[in-house]
Chain A
Amino acid sequence: MIYFDHNATTPLAPEVLEAMAPYLSGCWGNPSSPYRFGNEARTAVEGARGRIAGCLGCKPSEVVFTASGTESDNLAVRGVARASRLRGNHIVTTAIEHHAVLNTCKALETDGYRVTYLPVNPAGVVEIDALAGSLTPETVLVTVMHANNETGVIQPVEEIARIVRKRGIVFHVDAVQTAGKLSSRLAELGADLVSFSGHKLYGPKGTAALYVREGTALCPIITGGAHEMGLRAGTENVTGIVGLSAALELAAASSQKGGRRLQGLRDRLEAMVRERIPKVRFNGTSVARVPNTSSLSFDAVDGESIVLALDLAGICVSTGSACSTGEPEPSHVLLAMGLTAREAQGTIRISLGRDTRNEDVDGTVEALTEVIERLRSISSA
């Protein structure tokens, strides 16, 4: 099997599994218990928090563990909205956010919040001028993803941070697709809140965190005990947290060199496709992207048909994002970039990973060439 869907999820790194193993069986105490056995688990959780803080470039008290990137996004968006309700009711986001942010903002709209969905240019980059113009005295939160999951296009979050924070508005960045791919020093992006998830960086599923800059007004969305500085109740996922820290440390040690290698493979794949297959649109190639992602739109064929045909050839790719598989609507990200519904329909995402080799790229391009030719021979378009 060739696995080219690393933006959906990644395999657990052997080093991460090894780090987690002791906590799957022996050290199963509750970190909040007052005896030594509980304290062993507490030590594991706080050790992991400290190592993660070291990778992010922040204090341990600024790391809040959650159970998914989606939960981190929810805590950031709902948590700020609730904490700032008396100051204002306006939220600014972009048209290309992950559904974790987009649908949370839409839910807040029904609760009386006003949300601005900023447009992106044809390359998929949010319009900074539109962002600056959208801020009002009522604006309490700006939330922009670091890189888009479907196209890999990187957003100018550092520049946005300067504009937004000067106005005293809280800034959240969904870095789920960049943590471990770009720099791991996420606290240096300049945002107040940053989400990232374990299973996108060779860690376990069900693990994630939210960086919360000291002093940021935030309300919990899961209430109960006083876990996680009162921001996220529930007994800590000790094994998962240990795995998350091991995965992030591994990524921090290798992201630069690994990134260059992946970019070489990705660029080679795109060059080969350009050479062999006619009528392809390459999305986001004119701007900075995460090094592992390629978004390709094939004319006159359907993306899901490409995915199934490649699957039968032993190759895993996706249409837009994994979450929207099964939805008949074309990708909101591609439509926001100005693609027609037909172009969006013929789009697949290829996302390479740590284990990708040259021959995987060659084999995939070969299979893809055949698949597109066959599907076009059936197509009525």
Chain B
Amino acid sequence: MTRPPADGGKSGRPVYSGPVIYYNQTVIEHFTRPRHVGELAQEETDGFGLVGDPSCGDQMKLWICVRSGRIAKIAFRSFGCPGAIATSSMLTVLAQGKSLEAAKGITDDDVVEALGGIPERKKHCSLLGVRALKAAIADWESRRAGAKENQG
């Protein structure tokens, strides 16, 4: 088992990453049957986020439909490892129905906790979904700002 060292690579040596290298049942379930996979139609899409993690090449696209300040619909596609797929799926479950303010507060730790933990080396995967959601909300905000400007 190797993963990037926690000291930022100063020692250049992999660190001990614990006895668990495999995924738990919840993660496997979300990998096997991910929730909210797909895309939203253009007329439903109020925000879109696209993020890629250059360290492992994973990529995620996320669509949100916002009604009354809440995430009414959410959908994603993910090109990535099991950790990326499962954390993306769990993120959409956590975000669905939440107010935008609450959705913005979702952290990668929340996603990992909801999954009951993921192997240490996969922790960075959970960042992808959180960042995609933030990007989609930012997109919604800029669209709204643009719409207001047009009205003015």
Contacts and interface: CB of A to CB of B under 8 A. Distances in A.
A302 B81 contact: yes
Contact of A326 (B3, B34, B76, B124): B3
Nearest to B57: A345
Nearest to A330: B57
B34 A378 contact: yes
B31 interface: yes
Interface stretch (A144-152, A231-239, A304-312): A304-312
Contact of A308 (B31, B56, B58): B31
Contacts of B85: 305, 378
Given A302-B80, A305-B85, A378-B34, A312 B60 contact: no
A184 B57 CA distance: 40
Interface string B17-36: 00001010000100110100
A102 to B, nearest CB: 14
Contacts of B31: 305, 308-309
A87 B138 CA distance: 64
Contacts of B11: none
Interface string A332-346: 000000000110010
Interface in B69-103: 76-82, 84-85
Nearest to B58: A302
B82 A378 contact: no
A286 interface: no
Contacts, number: 60
Interface string A343-381: 001000000000000000000000000000000011111
Nearest to B62: A380
A interface, size bucket: 20 to 34
Interface in B1-45: 1-4, 21, 23, 28, 31-32, 34, 37
B82 A377 contact: no
B144 interface: no
A341 B57 contact: yes
Given A302-B58, A312-B32, A381 B79 contact: yes
A156 B133 CA distance: 51
A68 to B, nearest CB: 16
A301 B58 CA distance: 10
Contacts of A326: 1-3, 21, 121
A300 interface: yes
A328 interface: yes
Contacts of B76: 380
Contact of A380 (B32, B60, B82): B60
A380 B39 CA distance: 10
Contacts of B124: 328
B57 A342 contact: yes
A327 interface: yes
27 contacts: A301-B79, A302-B79, A305-B31, A305-B81, A305-B82, A308-B23, A308-B82, A309-B32, A312-B32, A326-B1, A326-B2, A326-B21, A327-B2, A328-B55, A328-B121, A328-B124, A330-B57, A341-B57, A345-B56, A345-B57, A378-B34, A378-B37, A378-B78, A379-B79, A380-B59, A380-B61, A380-B79
